[in-house]
Structure formats: structure tokens, C-alpha cells
A and B are shown apart, each in its own frame.
Chain A
Amino acid sequence: METSPLMPDILFYIGPVPISRAVATTWALMAFMAVFLLAALRRPAHDAGPVQAALEIVVLAIVKQLREILDRDPWPFLPLLGSLFLFLCLANLAAVVPGATPPTGHIETPAALALIVFLSVHYFGVRVRGAGPYLRHYLEPNPFLLPLNVLSELTRIFSLMIRLFGNMMSHEFVIAIVVFLAGLLVPIPFLLLGILIGIIQAYIFTVLATVYIAAAVGAVEA
């Protein structure tokens, strides 16, 4: 009997801990990022080279986008939100590497990211506004809306997770079906479309997380 493609693809075990393909791919991405950044930014210069200049452009573009949404200094939020975008870009684009599957195509990775975003929203909300004022906003505009507000917090995080997972998983299925039906070269346009979808999903996930955090810190209405 064929196993479900939605099931975790366990590659090996470290003791009792099963190491899935998503985890292994994530480690590979982390290793790539570490090596690349160490090589590119070992000695950052004022007169930046092409790689450093490209990295500065990417970072400053993210900072600009965050500033527009948060309407405040974006640098405290950059480690979480910037890392979210860059990691999702790399993870989603892992589909173009032969033999690799994007970690976001399995529910555990979007769930982990959504969990971190969920916790970060409350962390930043309490940190910026204080515990009392932050928790009080769940009673607004009417205390009777408290259950709905709590449910809204959960569902929006759930939808964030499912959106990313559904898009990337469905794209994986489409590629697999096209390869199965049409051969080797026909899926290439779908792979190019996958690059676009991966970047768009990374952008959507990051922007939504930013909006949630902005709502928590009082910058925008959720």
C-alpha cells in the first residue's frame, strides 16, 4: 500500500528522534545560509561589493516594507519577520533543486512558523503596550466579544498555516502529476511558476504576520 504524500517522510533517526526530509532540508538551508553569510559578510566594507550590496538592498527593502506596515522603527521586528521571509523564500524555492522538496509542503513546518508567529504577536503586544492594555484589547469593543476575539486569534493563525501549506503542497502535487503524465521537460514552466508562487507565498505569510504584530502593538487595526 502506498503511503500518503502528506505523511512525514522520515529519513533517519537520531536516537528516538525521527529526522524527516523537511527537517533535513531545513538543516541544509541553514548550512547554506551560514556558509554564504560567513563568506559574504565576514568583513563588511563601507564600499560594498556586489554580494554585500545585494544583501543590503534585500535587507533595506524588507526594512522599508516593515516600516510602512508597522509605522515605527522596524529594526526590533526585523530578526523575526525578515528571517520569516528569507527562510520561506529559500524553503519554497527548494522545489527547484532536483530531489529536494520544500519543507513548507508538509504541515509541520508551516505549523511551526505559525506557532512562532502566534507567540511573537503576543510577545510584541505585551512588550510594547504592556500586559494590561494588551489583554484589555480582547474586551474591545465589547466584553461579550471576548470569545470571538480569541477565536479570531486562533483562526487567523490557522488560516496562515493552512494557506502556506495548501499552496506549497498543491504545487508539489501538480508537479508530481505533470511529471507522471507528461514526462521530464514539460514540468519546467510549472517549476518557474513554482518560483513565483514560492516568493508570493513567502511575501503573503510575512506581510500577514507583520500585520498581526502591527495590530498587537497598536499600529493598525487587525
Chain B
Amino acid sequence: MQIDWWTLGLQTINFLVVIWLLSHFLYRPIRRTIEEREAADQAASQDAQDKADAADQARQEYEKLRAELAQEQNEREAAFHKSMKAEKEKSLEVARKDADALLESAHEQIARDQKQALENLKSHVQGLATELARSALAAPLTAKAAITAVTAYLEQLPQADFDDLKQDIHTDGGVLAIVTSAKLAKPEQEAWRAALAQRLGEEIALVFKESPDILGGAELHFPHAALRFSVAARLDRTAKAMEV
């Protein structure tokens, strides 16, 4: 085997030229393109990152603003609630004072009315008492006056009623009781017997009874009826008339 040194030298030079050729027309353009592409990608990535950062910052600012608004809203709500509570308490206080004033006024009015009513009642009672006293003391009911009043009553009594009284006293041994507040003396009893015998007949049976409750005057108690000419009867009649 023989080595051609010219060929060896030329091939060495040729390969060095190949190195230059590929380096100049292949590796450099491709590397430059790749680097530019990577730079563009990096720039795009950086731009995207910047936009993401800006969006994140905007989101943080939004969150911060929202938190501030929420806090402000809470503070306003708290202040509003506080003012409402104060207003409510103030209104309640005013209402309470008004109610107290009304209540006090009502109490005073009730007290005045009560006092007035009491005064009126006292005056009325006084008037009643006066009227009762007047009626009770209008004509003194002595024994003689009582006999006169009974006799006059029987005189002006309608005949039918008078007959009923007589029938009542004469039926089954009836007794007519003369009731007085104090025990009658003998002459007074005789005066009663005489007056009643003249009007009702001699045969009637009389008894005399005492009852301090009638206060004065006299009452005739038939078996089934009574004629009252006593002070108590006057007072009863006056009281019944006052009730009306």
C-alpha cells in the first residue's frame, strides 16, 4: 500500500475547508436562529410573566380594595347600628319620659278626680245625711202624733184596703201589736186603745211591744200587714227615694 502525500495534504485542507464551510453556513445560522428563537421565547415568556405579575398585582390591589371596602362597610354598619341603637334608646327614653309624664299626669288626674269624687261624695253624703235628718226630724213622732197619724191614715184609707185590714185582725184571733221605741205609759196605751177601738172596733186584741230599732214613733203590726209610722220607716223611705 502506498500513501499519496499530496492526497493526504489535500484531504486535510479539504476537511479544514469543510469545517469552515459547515461552521459558516450551517452551525452559525442555526445557532443564531435558535438563540433568537429562544430569546423571542424568553421575551414572550418574560412578557407573559410580566403580564401575569401585573395581573397578580391588579388582583392583589383588587383584593386589598375589596378588603378596605368590606372594612369600611363593616365600620359604617357598626356606626349605623350604634347610631340606631342610640336613636332607639333616645326614642325609648323620650317615650319613657312621655309615658312617665302621662302616667304622672294620669295619677294626678286620678288623684284630683278621686279627691273631687270624694269631695262630691262627702257633699252628697252630707246632703243625704242632712236630708235623712230632715226627713227623720221633720215632725216629731210623739205618742200623740203617732196616734194622730195612724188615725188619719186609717181615715183616708180606701174602704177595700181598710176592710182587708179589719179582716186580717179579726181572722183566727188576730192580735194587733203596737210597737214603740220606748215602753208606753199607761195613759199612752189607753190613748192607743181608744183611738184604734173607735176606728177598728172594740173587739180587737192589742199588745204593746218595745223595739229601740224603730228610733221613734210607732208601728202597727197586723198578722199579715204592718203600718209603719216610725223614724226608721221614714229613714227607709227617704233612703229608697234617694236611691232612685
Contacts and interface: CB of A to CB of B under 8 A. Distances in A.
A82 B19 CA distance: 8
The B contact surface, by secondary structure, is: helix
Nearest to A37: B25
**Which 9 pairs across A and B sit closest by C-beta, in order of nearness?**
A112-B11, A8-B4, A37-B25, A108-B7, A79-B23, A112-B12, A44-B33, A108-B8, A83-B19
Interface in A78-96: 78-80, 82-84, 86-87
Contacts of B12: 112, 115-116
Nearest to B27: A78
A113 B32 CA distance: 28
A83 B3 contact: no
B29 A87 contact: no
B20 to A, nearest CB: 8
Contacts of B34: 56, 60
A168 interface: no
18 contacts: A4-B1, A17-B10, A18-B6, A26-B10, A33-B22, A37-B21, A41-B29, A44-B29, A52-B33, A56-B33, A75-B31, A79-B19, A82-B27, A83-B19, A111-B8, A112-B14, A113-B11, A115-B8
Interface string B10-51: 111011111101110111011111101100100000000000
B6 A17 contact: yes
Contacts of B25: 33-34, 37-38, 41
Interface string A95-132: 00000000100111101110110000000000000000
B132 to A, nearest CB: 134
A219 interface: no
A167 interface: no
Interface in A21-45: 22-23, 26-27, 30, 33-34, 37-38, 41, 44-45
A200 interface: no
Contacts of B18: 26, 30, 33, 83, 87
B2 interface: yes
A116 B16 contact: yes
Contacts of B10: 17, 19-20, 23, 26
B11 A22 contact: yes
